[in-house]
Structure 1
Amino acid sequence: MTEETTSIHVTALDGLVNVNSLFTIAVFVGLSLTTPGQRSLENKSDCDAGDDVARALLVFEVLAFSFFLFSSLVAQGLKLAINLLNSKDVDEEFRAHINVKVLRFGMLGSAAGSVLGCIFLVLSMVNVVQIRLGLLSCGSQPTIRAVVALVTLVSTALVVYISTVFYSFTH
């Protein structure tokens, strides 16, 4: 592995950890926006989310956090391995002799953790929207628009991300 490719891997891993950190913040923001027994803005009692929606929110938030943490720890572990395997020369901080298969497998695992974290974050945000704006089953237009926009944009971004990761691993 050349100096340039090792540097690119370290930079990619740094970016992944930074994005995961932002998403982890979103997890806690989602948790802070909801309180038990909260009434929706729809002002119809049958449109208020029940305990099952709040419970699902909590489960999805914990799963999202777990996958983002997994992804970040794998990425940090790979960065640590690259740094520990560097040559003794301080001027060559981005050159390391690391098993390419292990590096690729670790980066793929980290990317998969981020994708799964995003999926669970979207599911949790759908529940936040239902708690705040009203249940989807009530047909509330603001709820439907918010959920459709969220799912459409994030799904599109995930398709681009997965395609890019797939392309980079096959070429």
Structure 2
Amino acid sequence: MDESENKYAMSSIGRSQSTTSIHVTALDGLVNVNSLFTIAVFVGLSIASPGQRSLEGRSACDAGPDVARYLLVFEVVSFSFFLFSSLVAQGLKLAINLLNSNDIDEAFRAHINARVLRLGMLASAVGSVMGCLFLVLSMVNVIQIRLGLLSCGSQPAVRAVAALVTLVTTALAVYIATVFYAFTH
């Protein structure tokens, strides 16, 4: 190999390791955020229990067992999406690290296709977005259990739900736009 080919090969390796580092860092961030959201799932479950009186003070505004049931369903589905997202991200990280490890035999080296990497990262991002949506739905039920039913017109509950939906929807729009931009450029 002459000197110009050697420089090109070294440049390609450096660029590949830099790109790999960026992918691993992005996947690490996704797993960390999913972990925080998973904690929120369990906090939501611990705060609200069926048959609990709301802070509204009127028994007509107390949530029934159906709200508690929906809370549990949404929490489990949310947890499932966060777990899916984290496991896909961890699998991709493992494949990337095996692919770029110099200390491993060729028989154990991972061969990851760039298209598979992109699809895996997209699946992980979609899992996080879906987990967030179901987490918002479960938090709406927590709010109804603690502050009173929305149908009852409980002002604190309506304000809390409005703030939650507005802020999370805005954050998800920014996240989705950023992911879309990253995948198209």
TM-score range, shorter chain: over 0.9
Q: Give the paired residue count.
A: 166
- Asked if 1:123 corresponds to 2:137, the answer is yes
Matches within 5 A, 1:94-133: 98-133=112-147
RMSD: 1.3
Match of 2:163 among 121, 124, 149: 149
Bigger Rg, structure 1 or 2: 2
For 1:48 and 1:127, the matched residues in 2 are separated by 12
CA positional deviation for 1:87? 3.7
Equivalent position of 1:93 in the other structure = none
Q: CA deviation digits over 1:83-132, x for unaligned, max 9? A: 11124259xxxxx8631100000000000000000000000000000000
- Asked if 1:38 corresponds to 2:48, the answer is no
Match of 2:151 among 127, 133, 137: 137
- Asked if 1:5 corresponds to 2:19, the answer is yes
Q: CA deviation digits over 1:49-86, x for unaligned, max 9? A: 00000000000000000000000000000000011112
SS for the counterpart of 2:128 is: helix
Equivalent position of 2:86 in the other structure = 72
Match of 1:161 among 175, 179, 182: 175
TM-score (norm 2): 0.87
For 2:24 and 2:56, the matched residues in 1 are separated by 48
Identical-residue share of aligned pairs (%): 81
Equivalent position of 1:47 in the other structure = 61
For 2:101 and 2:159, the matched residues in 1 are separated by 54
CA positional deviation for 1:3? 1.3
8 Å contact from structure 1 (residues 33, 128) kept in 2: yes
CA positional deviation for 1:30? 0.1
Structure 1 segments of 4 or more deviating over 4 A?
none
For 2:35 and 2:47, the matched residues in 1 are separated by 19
SS for the counterpart of 1:75 is: helix
For 1:18 and 1:81, the matched residues in 2 are separated by 19
Q: Gapped runs of 5+ residues in structure 1?
A: 91-95
Equivalent position of 2:9 in the other structure = none
TM-score (norm 1): 0.94
Q: What letter is aligned with 1:59?
A: V
SS for the counterpart of 1:39 is: coil
For 2:149 and 2:170, the matched residues in 1 are separated by 24
Match of 1:60 among 63, 71, 74: 74
For 1:155 and 1:5, the matched residues in 2 are separated by 30
8 Å contact from structure 1 (residues 86, 97) kept in 2: no
